[in-house]
Structure 1
Amino acid sequence: MPEHMMPAVQDDGQVLTPFMDAVVKVYCVHTQPDYSLPWQRKRQMTSTSSGFIATFNGATCLLTNAHSVDHHTQVKVKRRGDDRKFVARVLSLGVDCDVALLTVEEDEFWEGVTPLTFGPLPRLQDAVAVVGYPIGGDTISVTAGVVSRIEVTDYTHGSTDLLAIQIDAAINGGNSGGPVINAKGECCGIAFQALTGNDVENVGYVIPTPVVNHFLNDYDRTKGFTGFPALGMVWQRMESEALRRAYHMAKGQKGKGSLNPTSDAANVLQPDDVLLSFDGLEIACDGTVPFRTGERISFSYLISNKYVGDECQMTVLRKGEVHTVNVKLSKPHQLIPPHINNRDPAYFIVAGLVFTPVSEPYLQSEYGAGYSTEAPVRLLDRLFHTLPKNGDEEVVVLSQVLACSATLGYEDVYNVQLLKFNGEPVRNLRHLAELVVGCTQPFMRFDLDYNELVILETQAALRATADVQTSHSVPHLCSADLRKSGLAWPPTASADIAAESSVQPK
């Protein structure tokens, strides 16, 4: 560690550094959703992590990682050298960038603290120190290292690709949310994840200040978190000479092909457009743009610097002709979302059939950490390769079948996508609920993936729905978001259901 980063020693022998008093220990009680039984939550668990007090745009703020307070029911923080824990409130949760903004109502917590200031993006080989409260002890810990790499990296918690700093200082459990300090005593980022494995040692990752500033600016503008924008398209590299000639790219032209644009980009981009530049910066055939002297970085870095609703100017090659277009950046919408933004899972129960939208946390809950290989192939195809056709489309699955008189013979059906209800394609869970509530036919027909079929007698299903609620101790037969929308379920079984139906069981 450079000499000017070494701690000063007072006459009484106490070690004191200017930045240590701004680092806090975070105590959190988590109550995670139970995706298998979405009407309840799992047993609560506790965790400890790190956080710090910093100044931003003249205001003092308290920051930690989003995963440190994920699905929190109680958050407390303790300053260095203090024996009191103060109750904290989460103001904003940036799941995408793994940053959370907290506050403490008691003035005592803020007294006498010198907030950290944010420094610039460090250079390679710059010395840094990770400060926090990792496992292995109760007191503050300082670990020294250097900057090894700066590039766009996968943020594990939010399943987002954003700029990150790789360092060779160890980031252990409990370090999450702590500041990473440069040689000037400035905060150059937040420790948030580490690479583990038999062949890996001391590979830690830091959320850099540009990403943190984006999160804080977003909160200043919206008093919430709108996320990082996306172009709304899928692209591929244009490194093949044959591919470049087929798209009439001139010698020296660079770019990459865009496929199946979605979202607002669909209004101005076309399939097979070749992207040449973004806001005046030339995009290379491998999808990179100039970053700093002698460095290149994925062009998605330019998109992540903007905000949802911003516009960008793009130059595209379309059928051999160069066009300049303005594209409005929108919030990313994935068919299977990477997270549910700290909400409870949505669900809908009819008879013993439990329906829920698929998310990555749902897949992880059902199939473990290896869900990317263990989950059903059709669901993985929706996750990795399928784009939504409209903004409200969801993958709704029959999660499980609760035993009841109306569902005899269907007990072994689980985690299969629902495609149609009584012949009508199902767009999302709310659409399914509306179709079921409004059903006037004698039979309810659920067409599932893999050509599976579930048919229930409507009257029997309505009667069984109330029985299921009692026998399985289900407090509500649909999730809070559906109830708030005015959905009345279950309705009273009625004898006015039509005697004949165009949808008959086969």
Structure 2
Amino acid sequence: MSDLYNNGGSNNGPENNNGSYSYKKDEINQGESYYQWSPYDNGNKNKKQKKSTGFVGKLGRAVAIALVFGLVAGTAFQSVVYVSNRYLPMSASSEEKIESTETEDTAKSASGTALSTTSNKVSTTVTSDVSEIAENVLPAIVQVTNVGLTEYQTFFGTMQQETTSAGSGIIISQDDDYIYIATNNHVVAGAETLTITFNDGEAVEGTIKGTDSSCDLAVVAVAVSDIPSDTLSVIKVATLGDSDATVVGEAAIVIGNALGYGTSVTTGIVSAKDREVSITDEEGNLVTNSLIQTDAAVNPGNSGGALLNATGEVIGIVSAKLADESVEGMGYAIPISYAWDIIQQMIDNDVVSELDASYFGIAGKDITSEMSEQYDVPVGVYVAQVVAGSGAEAAGIEVDDVITSFNGRTVTSVNTLNNIMKYLPAGTTVEVTVAKASNNYEEETVEVTLTHKVDAVQ
């Protein structure tokens, strides 16, 4: 498989006389994916005829991908922010755009006692009246206002302009000192300040607790001491459902800060599950996730909001929608059963400092589902080079292997690996699932002790 990377015309690093590529030691780590794998047909025996499979395979068109949350400039709101020109095959007859949404976390009272939750069961019967569900859940939904700075070029040089964007969040967890709000990474990206507005209209400042750009998730923390007692008495922690048990056709409700004007409620059904949707994030990384599809209206500003079932349980974090004149009712949410472990890690852990940062010891490249199908290798991170003396080498990881799982989490890209690694200090031992090239890409699990990044690159 390695000859796929050594074909002339690839820009995957300095080429040696033997046609292979070398890497500087300080360029090699678990997450420095400075190039996207672009396989070339060189008569490789692993290459096979590409087949159309799944959501992307069946849909034969390309659509522009865009993150969606309402922009606010003074009192005016922009409906859509287009952040990418990445294309995804779709079946619609005209160009379509995908947009994203956001969510938040939890709260508790000043005395340290847990707030009431939105766990009251309402009805499992599909009905057009969801007022009781909305009344019960609205106290767990917040508005997120992101104030940042955007640079632009003028005749006089680089200038900065303040920008304001609006999204949503879900109060999802609590401890003695903070409430935690789950939302999308794209909702908080680039924030100079974050303002959290609760359902009673009270607004307080929040801080970013953690982010994971590989799955477009983030957690915002709000100090309990900053929240007025009257607000603490009425806000709630959302009740989480089991998105794995969700079935196509069941009732679905979306609650969020639509258009940045305030919280609103829309209804529909779960249209599909496990829809593979790709969006390019702010850093240019292609983010691909398996999402829940709904026809409940999703609008700019809904990013980070809640997708609920008929009992008022959160089954997804709204993140995207398909926007086009010829397309209606295609909104997407991150399944809560998948998102929760990632959110919990961000709540429980802080990003390690540069001095304590861990080092895996590989140069990696993404293998997408399309490449996996075409070249008959697993989806994950292809190992282009291994650093001598690193934890990866000590564990027996070799060039041409594919990393498919790291520390209990499925790995689909170098970006995913980076986001996992930033919470792990040097010296941590993790389980890594490796598809071995030497054994026809059969998977095996090895233990890797992560080294100290600063020492490893010297």
TM-score (norm 2): 0.52
Match of 1:326 in 2: 446
Aligned-residue offset at 1:191: 0.8
Aligned-residue offset at 1:155: 4.1
Superposition pairs of residues 344-493 of structure 1, within 5 angstroms: none
Match of 2:190 in 1: 71
- Higher CA-based Rg: 1
1:100 equivalent among 213, 218, 225 = 218
- Are residue 300 (structure 1) and residue 412 (structure 2) matched? yes
- Are residue 121 (structure 1) and residue 249 (structure 2) matched? no
Match of 2:167 in 1: 49
Aligned-residue offset at 1:73: 2.5
Describe the superposition over 1:297-326 as per-residue Cα deviations: whole angstroms up to 9, x where unpaired. x9739x969943532243525177979562
The alignment partner of 1:32 has SS state of strand
Match of 1:202 in 2: 329
Distance 1:321 1:161 in 2: 22
Aligned-residue offset at 1:206: 1.1
Structure 1 pair 259–223 and aligned structure 2 pair: CA distance change class (3 A): closer
Describe the superposition over 1:107-158 as per-residue Cα deviations: whole angstroms up to 9, x where unpaired. 4332222210222224341332111121285452323231413145434336
The alignment partner of 1:173 has SS state of coil
2:257 equivalent among 133, 136, 146 = 133
**Cα pair 1:317 1:323 within 8 Å, conserved:** no
Aligned-residue offset at 1:188: 1.3
The alignment partner of 2:398 has SS state of coil
1:269 equivalent among 387, 397, 404 = 397
Match of 1:311 in 2: 431
Distance 2:153 2:450 in 1: 29
Aligned-residue offset at 1:327: 6.0
Match of 1:22 in 2: 140
Distance 2:299 2:276 in 1: 22
Aligned-residue offset at 1:68: 2.0
2:234 equivalent among 112, 123, 133 = 112
The alignment partner of 2:328 has SS state of coil
Unaligned segments of structure 2, at least 5 residues: 1-122, 425-429
Aligned-residue offset at 1:33: 4.2
Aligned-residue offset at 1:185: 1.3
The alignment partner of 2:344 has SS state of helix
**Cα pair 1:231 1:265 within 8 Å, conserved:** no
**Cα pair 2:196 2:206 within 8 Å, conserved:** yes
The alignment partner of 1:128 has SS state of strand
Q: Kindly provide the amino acid, as one letter, of the partner of residue 364 in structure 2.
A: G
Distance 2:383 2:212 in 1: 29
- Are residue 148 (structure 1) and residue 272 (structure 2) matched? yes
Describe the superposition over 1:349-404 as per-residue Cα deviations: whole angstroms up to 9, x where unpaired. xxxxxxxxxxxxxxxxxxxxxxxxxxxxxxxxxxxxxxxxx979xxxxxxxxxxxx
Structure 1 pair 33–143 and aligned structure 2 pair: CA distance change class (3 A): farther
Distance 2:281 2:372 in 1: 31
**Cα pair 1:234 1:259 within 8 Å, conserved:** no
Structure 1 pair 35–215 and aligned structure 2 pair: CA distance change class (3 A): farther
The alignment partner of 2:136 has SS state of coil
Structure 1 pair 18–7 and aligned structure 2 pair: CA distance change class (3 A): farther
Aligned-residue offset at 1:70: 2.2
Structure 1 pair 300–152 and aligned structure 2 pair: CA distance change class (3 A): farther
Q: Kindly provide the amino acid, as one letter, of the partner of residue 146 in structure 2.
A: C
Distance 1:48 1:19 in 2: 20
Describe the superposition over 1:12-49 as per-residue Cα deviations: whole angstroms up to 9, x where unpaired. xxx95211221122223221345899x96621122222
Distance 1:110 1:3 in 2: 32
Structure 1 pair 187–316 and aligned structure 2 pair: CA distance change class (3 A): same
- Are residue 232 (structure 1) and residue 351 (structure 2) matched? no
Q: Kindly provide the amino acid, as one letter, of the partner of residue 127 in structure 1.
A: A
Moved more, 60-69 or 322-331: 322-331
Structure 1 pair 130–41 and aligned structure 2 pair: CA distance change class (3 A): farther
Percentage of matched positions with identical amino acids: 20
Distance 1:199 1:262 in 2: 49
Structure 1 pair 274–96 and aligned structure 2 pair: CA distance change class (3 A): closer
Unaligned segments of structure 1, at least 5 residues: 245-253, 282-297, 334-389, 393-506
Structure 1 pair 181–41 and aligned structure 2 pair: CA distance change class (3 A): farther
**Cα pair 1:31 1:41 within 8 Å, conserved:** no
Q: Which has the higher contact order (CA 8 A, sep 6+)?
A: 2
- Are residue 166 (structure 1) and residue 293 (structure 2) matched? yes
Structure 1 pair 4–32 and aligned structure 2 pair: CA distance change class (3 A): same
Distance 2:345 2:279 in 1: 19
Aligned-residue offset at 1:224: 3.5
Distance 1:313 1:23 in 2: 38
**Cα pair 1:165 1:206 within 8 Å, conserved:** yes
**Cα pair 1:54 1:116 within 8 Å, conserved:** yes
**Cα pair 2:142 2:168 within 8 Å, conserved:** yes
Distance 2:218 2:397 in 1: 35
**Cα pair 1:234 1:261 within 8 Å, conserved:** no
Q: Kindly provide the amino acid, as one letter, of the partner of residue 309 in structure 2.
A: N
Aligned-residue offset at 1:330: 8.1
Structure 1 pair 50–269 and aligned structure 2 pair: CA distance change class (3 A): same
Match of 2:20 in 1: none
**Cα pair 2:171 2:181 within 8 Å, conserved:** yes
Q: Kindly provide the amino acid, as one letter, of the partner of residue 227 in structure 2.
A: E
Match of 1:367 in 2: none
